[in-house]
C-alpha cells in the first residue's frame, strides 16, 4: 500500500485472511476487521529504538515510524502518551509482589486511554480529507474524539447509549461535540454509527470497525517497552469490553518483537466483568475446540451486559476475533471479576497508590488480585496493569465504596472528640 506511506504493505482481514492495498473500514470480502500490515524491513532501516528512546518528544508521535501516518499528518497540540508507569513499593510490599506496575492512562488529556486511538484516527482521517468525525461510545471514546476534535478544529458527532454516565456526556458536550443519545444499548449506538457513516460520509472512529483504532491503542505497549528499557513485562492485565484495547496492546508488542527491538512477548490477561464476559466465553469455547486454528473458526458469543463498568459493558464485542487471537497467541488467559471486586479494587487502588480509577480502569487490578490470590501467578513475575480511565468519570460508582464524611459543628472540642 502506497496510499498511506511506503512502510505499510496493506490491510489484512483478521477473519478470512484476504489482503488489500487499501480499504476504508472492514473487509470488503467478508466484513471482518482489518489489520494494518507493516514492512518491518523498511522500518528497521529507517528507525532505531535508541533514537526513539532519546527523542525529546516523549509523546506517542516518537513512534511514528510504526504508526499509520506520514510525517506531514496533522497532530493534536495536546500531549498524547508519556503516561506514568508507576511502581508503588508500599502496595507491592503488602501484596508480596515486587514487580507490579500500573500504566496510568488517567493522566491523558480527556482522562482515558481512548485518547491514543482518537488522536491517531483523527490524524489518519484528516490525511484522507475527512472533515466530520463520528463514533459510538459508552463515554470514553466519545470524550477522546471530542477532545481531539476540539483541539484540531474539526466537527465530531458522538452517539452514546442513553444510559451513559452523565459526567462523560457533560465532558463530550463541553468539548463542543454534538451528542446524540440513543434509546438502546451501546451496540445499538454502534450499529447506528456505521449506518450514519455510510449515509452521510462521516469518518467513523468506532472501535474495531476502524482499523486505525488498534494502531493508536498499541502505543501503550510501545511506551511500556521503552519505559522498561525494552525488557517487556511477563504479564499485562487488560480490562476488556469490545476487545480493541487487548488487540492493540498485543499488536504493539508484536511490532516491537518483529523489529527485534525486544526479545520476548508478554502473556496478556483479559479481565472482564462476569456480567459482560463475551470475549471470555468465546476464548473458552475456542480453547475447548478439538482443533483451534484459523481466526475464521473463532465464534464470538454475545451476552446481555449489565456491569457497573460501563466502559467494558458490551453485548457483542466488535473486535472480539482479534482479542481472542491475542489471548491465544500470547499464551495468556482470561479472568472474570464481579462488580463487587471491581468496586473494591477502585478503593484499594486509590487508597494505596493515589491512582483514582473508574470501574473499567480498576478492573485490571481486580483481575490481578484474583489471579495472584489463586496462586497461578509467579511471585516475582514482572506485571503491568493498564489503568484506562479516571474515577472522576463515574463518581456514582466511586461513591458506592467511598464511605461518607463525619459531620461535626465547627468547634475544636467536637473535633478532638472524634479524632481520639
CATH code where residue 98 lies: 3.40.50.1100
- pLDDT confidence of residue 2: 38
Nearest C-alpha neighbor of 214 from the set 10, 40, 33: 33
Determine if residue 31 is left, alpha or beta; phi over 0 gives left, psi from -120 to 50 gives alpha, anything else beta.
Answer: left
Name the grid cell of 6.
511506503
- Containing 252, the helix (H) or strand (E) segment is helix 244-258
pLDDT tens for each residue of the chain, 420 residues long: 334 468 999 999 999 999 999 899 999 999 999 999 999 999 999 999 999 999 999 999 999 999 999 888 899 999 999 999 999 999 999 999 999 999 999 999 999 999 999 999 999 999 999 999 999 998 899 999 999 999 999 999 999 999 888 999 999 999 999 999 999 999 999 999 999 999 999 999 999 899 999 999 999 999 999 999 999 999 999 999 999 999 999 999 999 999 999 999 999 999 999 999 999 999 999 988 765 555 557 999 999 999 999 999 999 999 999 999 999 999 999 999 999 999 999 999 999 999 999 999 999 999 999 999 999 999 899 999 999 999 999 999 999 999 999 999 999 999 999 997
In a domain, 310, yes or no: yes
- pLDDT confidence of residue 291: 58
- Count the neighbouring beta carbons within 10 Å of the beta carbon of residue 89: 9
Determine the Cα–Cα distance for residues 382 and 363; give it in Å rounded to an integer.
Answer: 18
In a domain, 188, yes or no: no
DSSP state of 184: S
- pLDDT confidence of residue 5: 61
Angle at 99 between CA 93 and CA 101, to 5 degrees: 100
- Count the neighbouring beta carbons within 10 Å of the beta carbon of residue 18: 15
What is residue 333's three-state secondary structure? strand
Determine the Cα–Cα distance for residues 293 and 299; give it in Å rounded to an integer.
Answer: 12
Determine the Cα–Cα distance for residues 335 and 354; give it in Å rounded to an integer.
Answer: 25
- pLDDT confidence of residue 171: 97
Nearest C-alpha neighbor of 156 from the set 107, 115, 205: 205
Asked whether the beta carbons of 401 and 394 are under 8 A apart, the reply is no
- pLDDT confidence of residue 26: 94
Asked whether the beta carbons of 25 and 45 are under 8 A apart, the reply is no
Name the grid cell of 178.
454534538
In a domain, 340, yes or no: yes
Determine the Cα–Cα distance for residues 16 and 18; give it in Å rounded to an integer.
Answer: 6
- Count the neighbouring beta carbons within 10 Å of the beta carbon of residue 415: 12
In a domain, 39, yes or no: no
Name the grid cell of 107.
493522566
Determine the Cα–Cα distance for residues 229 and 49; give it in Å rounded to an integer.
Answer: 10
What is the extent of the structural domain holding 98?
A: 85-111+213-401
The count of domains in the chain is 1
In a domain, 58, yes or no: no
In a domain, 51, yes or no: no
In a domain, 333, yes or no: yes
Asked whether the beta carbons of 102 and 86 are under 8 A apart, the reply is yes
Measured in whole angstroms, how far is the alpha carbon of residue 338 from the centre of its chain?
20
- Count the neighbouring beta carbons within 10 Å of the beta carbon of residue 37: 14
pTM: 0.95
- pLDDT confidence of residue 1: 36
In a domain, 131, yes or no: no
Amino acid at each position: 500500500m502506497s496510499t498511506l506511506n511506503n512502510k505499510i504493505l496493506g490491510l489484512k482481514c483478521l477473519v478470512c485472511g484476504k489482503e488489500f492495498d487499501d480499504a476504508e473500514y472492514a473487509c470488503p470480502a467478508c466484513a471482518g476487521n482489518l489489520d494494518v500490515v507493516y514492512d518491518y524491513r523498511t522500518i528497521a532501516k529507517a528507525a532505531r529504538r535508541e533514537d526513539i528512546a532519546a527523542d525529546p518528544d516523549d509523546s506517542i508521535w516518537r513512534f511514528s515510524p510504526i504508526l499509520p501516518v506520514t510525517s506531514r499528518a496533522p497532530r493534536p497540540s495536546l500531549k498524547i502518551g508519556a503516561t506514568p508507569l508507576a511502581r508503588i513499593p508500599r502496595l507491592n510490599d503488602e501484596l508480596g509482589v515486587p514487580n507490579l506496575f500500573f500504566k496510568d492512562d488517567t493522566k491523558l488529556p480527556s482522562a482515558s486511554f481512548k485518547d491514543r486511538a482518537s488522536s491517531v484516527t483523527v490524524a489518519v482521517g484528516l490525511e484522507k480529507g475527512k472533515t466530520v468525525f463520528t463514533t459510538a461510545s459508552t463515554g470514553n471514546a466519545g470524550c477522546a474524539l471530542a477532545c481531539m476534535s476540539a483541539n484540531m478544529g474539526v466537527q465530531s458527532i458522538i452517539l452514546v447509549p442513553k444510559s451513559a454516565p452523565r459526567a462523560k456526556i457533560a465532558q463530550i458536550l463541553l468539548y463542543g461535540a454534538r451528542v446524540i443519545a440513543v434509546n438502546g444499548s451501546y451496540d445499538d449506538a454502534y450499529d447506528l454509527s456505521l449506518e450514519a457513516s455510510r449515509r452521510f460520509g462521516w469518518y467513523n472512529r468506532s472501535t474495531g470497525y476502524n482499523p486505525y483504532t488498534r494502531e493508536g491503542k498499541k502505543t501503550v505497549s510501545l511506551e511500556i517497552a521503552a519505559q522498561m528499557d525494552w525488557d517487556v513485562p511477563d504479564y499485562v492485565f487488560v480490562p476488556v469490553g469490545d476487545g480493541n484495547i487487548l488487540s492493540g496492546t498485543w499488536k504493539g508488542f508484536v511490532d516491537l518483537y518483529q523489529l527485534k527491538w525486544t526479545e520476548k512477548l508478554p502473556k496478556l490477561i483479559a479481565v472482564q466483568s462476569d456480567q459482560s464476559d463475551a470475549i471470555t466465553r468465546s476464548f473458552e469455547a475456542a480453547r475447548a475446540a478439538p482443533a483451534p486454528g484459523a481466526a475464521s473458526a473463532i465464534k464470538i458469543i454475545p451476552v446481555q451486559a449489565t456491569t457497573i463498568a460501563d466502559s467494558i459493558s458490551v453485548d457483542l464485542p466488535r473486535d472480539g476475533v482479534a482479542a481472542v487471537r491475542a489471548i491465544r497467541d500470547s499464551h495468556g488467559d482470561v479472568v472474570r471479576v464481579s462488580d463487587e471486586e471491581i468496586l473494591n479494587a477502585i478503593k484499594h487502588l486509590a487508597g494505596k497508590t493515589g491512582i483514582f480509577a473508574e470501574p473499567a480502569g480498576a478492573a485490571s487490578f481486580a483481575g490481578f488480585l484474583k489471579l495472584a490470590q489463586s496462586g497461578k501467578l509467579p511471585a516475582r513475575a514482572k506485571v503491568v496493569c493498564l489503568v484506562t480511565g479516571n474515577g472522576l468519570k463515574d463518581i456514582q460508582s466511586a461513591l458506592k465504596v467511598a464511605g461518607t464524611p463525619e459531620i461535626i459543628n465547627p468547634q475544636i472540642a467536637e473535633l478532638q472528640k472524634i479524632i481520639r
